[in-house]
Structure 1
Amino acid sequence: MSDHTNTYPSLASAGHGLLVRFRYALHHSRLMQIAALCALWQVGEAVVRFAGLPIPGGIVGMALALALLLSGRVSLFSMKRGAEWFLAEMLLFFVPAVLAILEHRELIGLLGLKIMAVILLGTLTVMSVTALTVDLCYRWSMRHAGK
């Protein structure tokens, strides 16, 4: 009897090849990175709806992205260009909010000023806490990099 060697690639190696192609596309395609970030957002939305969490799905999606980055499953380069696009086009995402304000004239008076103050203080607080956290993490990583 002849030795029957499998000349076809196994399912595992085919899956590995698909994963390699996906990672290559993720590293080199801004559109794939944007799609991956949107997919993480949608997964976060699904988790929030399923678990009944009182937080936005985008926050859960960002936590998932952070977990993937910290675990090494996804490299920073795999999300960098997509995230840069979102940051560059951020103003585009505010257009619907501006149009909504124009439809509600009561927001242009004192009530609007109060809301604007809360938004500005909230944004300043978030930016300050984020900067402090990044600075502390950077200092910690520099201290532990030499060990």
Structure 2
Amino acid sequence: MLRAFTLLLICQLAGEVTAVLTGLPIPGPVVGLFYLLIGLMVYRTPTPWLETTSSGLLKHLSLLFVPASVGLIQHADRLQVEWLPLLAAVIISTVAAIAVGALTFVAVARLTGHPAQGEDHKP
């Protein structure tokens, strides 16, 4: 478990350093996850110790929403003023994410030769 957390923190640190040095408008932890993704793609399969720790983190993922909830409470006055643009952004981004996901699914299904649900499969 210690090795896995060390690896995750090293990836996050590398992402933070990259984001600061390059001035990217992307948060460092996101860049760090990209580095982790590249590492997993290079090695093809995660090690058992990384898989065990990742599964444990995913089981308790809901705890990561606590800081976001506290942030919402702290900025309640701002939310009262700017609720309409925030609501519009949430709705538009949700619809866009669903549309992109559906289009990606259909494109991958066609590329792999598997019919999407509702399409007739022609051998």
The bucket for the TM-score relative to the shorter chain is 0.5 to 0.7
Identity of aligned residues (%): 26
1:34 touches 1:83 (CA, 8 Å); kept in 2? no
Correspondent of 1:66 among 18, 37, 42: 37
Which structure has the larger Rg?
1
When the two structures are aligned, how many residues end up with a matched partner?
114
Correspondent of 1:43 among 8, 14, 26: 14
1:69 touches 1:76 (CA, 8 Å); kept in 2? no
Structure 2 residues without counterparts, runs of 5 or longer: 115-123
TM-score by length of 2: 0.62
Aligned ranges 1:1-147 → 2 under 5 Å: 30-72=1-43, 75=46, 77=48, 79-109=50-80, 111-123=82-94, 125-126=96-97, 129=100
Give the Cα–Cα distance (whole angstroms) in 1 for the partners of residues 72 and 57 of structure 2. Answer: 23
TM-score by length of 1: 0.54
Structure 1 residues without counterparts, runs of 5 or longer: 1-29
Q: Deviations along 1:54-77, whole A, 9 cap, x unmatched?
A: 221122112211211121276364
